Amino acid sequence: GPEFETILLERTGRVAVLTLNRPKALNALNSQVLLDVSAALDLLENDESVGAVVLTGSERAFAAGADIKEMQSKSYMDMFLVDHFGGWDRVAAFRKPIIAAVAGYALGGGCELAMMCDLLIAADNAKFGQPEIKLGIIPGMGGSQRLTKAVGKAKAMDLILTGRNMDAEEAERAGLVSRIVPAADLLTVALETAQTIASMSLPSVMIAKESVNRAFETTLGEGLRFERRVFHSLFATEDQKEGMAAFVEKRAADFHNR
């Protein structure tokens, strides 16, 4: 596959695994990581043989945040004119499912990146936090919004104003995390989950993701109307016919993602 400076991109079947790989900086997110992740997601989105993506880091760190050394000397104009970090919206706009497989530190931009993903599977050693306040700034890649939607105002205020970390147990209780697994099993479980998703009909998976995400962006009435429309639209797919025929004939469905 293609080579990147700061990430590894591997394929197993219909699943792509994207591994953040700046071990000396605990996978801190600098401009090159953004370029690499964006380029990889462009490839994967356009590749019909990819049904789901796993985004992971190392056992020590998913990502310890935006690269503080890169940001340190920037001015307001430096940040504003290039819309520093705006490019990370690429991850949230990705149309296929992405599973964040998080071990170790997911701090600041690292926590925000994990929250842009669709499912968050945490190793038992995972630590989540928005420590930006300790640097004299605030979350800048969605943390004040997505964390609040995920865990509610009380805990979001607690984390964002004090900068403290929460462990995997607390993150699961709070609703940030889909599942906790032993660190040694993290990638296996994330891959199995991704493979399960990738075995479904891709158009239905993409539309399901879009529909769930609508719940965070609109009113209940609008969201329900959106769901109804896209639900009806799936009856235009060959895979709906195949999926229902397979059920009636008591056999496994053979989806062609059409």
By beta-carbon proximity to ligand CO8, the closer residue of 4 and 85 is 85
Among 18, 41, 64, 91, the residue binding ligand CO8 under the rule CB under 6 A is 64
* 37 makes contact with ligand CO8 (CB under 6 A): no
Binding residue for ligand CO8, selected from 19, 20, 44, 67, defined by CB under 6 A: 67
Assess 97 for contact with ligand CO8 (CB under 6 A).
no
Catalytically annotated residues = 66, 109, 112, 132
Do residues 149 and 216 touch, judged by C-beta distance below 8 A? yes
Angle at which helices 143-151 and 109-116 pack, to 10 degrees? 60
Radius of gyration of the chain (CA): 19
- What is the rounded CA–CA span in Å between residue 111 and residue 65? 7
120 binding ligand CO8? (CB under 6 A) = no
Q: Show the CA angle centred on residue 90, arms to residues 178 and 209, nearest 5°.
A: 45
The one among 16, 40, 52, 65 contacting ligand CO8 by CB under 6 A: 65
Q: How far is the CB of 171 from ligand CO8 (least distance, A)?
A: 16
The runs of H, that is alpha helices, within the chain are 31-46, 68-71, 76-81, 89-93, 109-116, 143-151, 153-162, 168-174, 186-198, 202-214, 220-233, 238-248
Does residue 57 belong to the site contacting ligand CO8 (CB under 6 A)?
Answer: no
Residue 85: Cβ within 10 Å count: 18
- The number of CA neighbours under 13 Å toward the Cβ of 150 is 27
Given the rule CB under 6 A, which of 10-18, 41-49, 102-110, 179-187 is the region that contacts ligand CO8?
A: 102-110
CB of 63 to ligand CO8, least distance (A): 8
Whole-number minimum distance, CB 106 to ligand CO8, in Å? 10
Rounding to the nearest 10 degrees, give the CA dihedral for residues 133, 134, 137, 139: -50
Minimum distance from residue 236 beta carbon to ligand CO8 (Å): 39
- Binding residues (CB under 6 A) for ligand CO8: these are 25-26, 28-29, 64-69, 85, 88, 105, 107-109, 112, 131-132, 135, 139-141
